[in-house]
Amino acid sequence: MPEFILLEQKKAKTAIEILENKYKNVSYYLNFNGPMQLLVAAILSAQTKDTVVNDLTPELFKKYKTVEDFANADPQDLLNYVKKVSFAENKVKNIISCCKIINENYKGKIPNDMNSLLSLPGVGRKTANTILINAFGIVEGIPVDTWVIKLSYRIGLSKSKKPDEIENDLKEITDKKYWKNFAYVIKEHGHQICQSVKPKCEICPINNICPKNGVK
């Protein structure tokens, strides 16, 4: 296996800026209205295509309108609405547990701080960052999903495969003004050009910078 090449900071910043400018109109990909819907949709989206989640949430949110509705949900009934997502039974348990805690400890309002969000079942840093950014406009970090993990390594922004370490590496080299959309920019780049199996390096806007780690 070829040796991993880490971009020097100046080149990394240039690559990020090029991608941010190319995909400057991208935004978060799950449909939601308010913090509660975002929490539920984000939990459902783990290891599931966003199109699958967006297809089922309209009916789900017609039935379950409040935190209390989810807290008091019958697990089997809720499962019927979300059974198309991966690990549906476990996600149903997490959603109900989350909403019980929020109902009891936060008066039915989704908390807007990292530590409180991380204390909720099924909520990791990726989901917590996503909620803070998209529901509250609070930018403390960078959501790290599978596309960010894959392309951060390929482009040479981080050698790690651990989300927390990748986030720290990215925060070191990425201007904070780009943190909000970084994950969505990377995802769009992955879909359009830097595809998993056969990236289109010949038309990539950072072709002359990217070390193409792991590209055959």
CATH class of 9-27+142-203: mainly alpha
CA–CA separation, 71 and 49 (whole Å)? 25
Query: What value does the mean pLDDT take over residues 17-27?
Result: 95
CATH class of 35-136: mainly alpha
Give me the residue spans of the domains in the chain: 9-27+142-203, 35-136
Handedness of CA 144, 146, 151, 152 (dihedral sign): positive
* 134-135-139-144 Cα dihedral, nearest 10 degrees: -50
1 pLDDT higher than 90: no
143 pLDDT higher than 70: yes
DSSP state, residue 86 = T
Print the SS3 string covering 87-137: CHHHHHHHHHHHHHHHHHHCCCCCCCCHHHHHCCCCCCHHHHHHHHHHHHC
164 pLDDT higher than 80: yes
- Joined together, the tokens standing for residue 107 give 């008066």
Average pLDDT of the residues of the chain: 96
Question: Environment class of residue 138 by beta-carbon count within 10 Å: exposed (0-12), middle (13-18) or buried (19+)?
Answer: middle
φ, ψ of residue 206 to 5 degrees: the values are: -115, 25
What tens digit of pLDDT does each residue of 119-141 get?
999 999 999 999 999 999 999 99
pTM, rounded to two decimals = 0.93
Residue 142: partners with Cβ closer than 8 Å, 6 or more residues away: 129, 148, 167, 170, 171, 174, 179, 182, 183
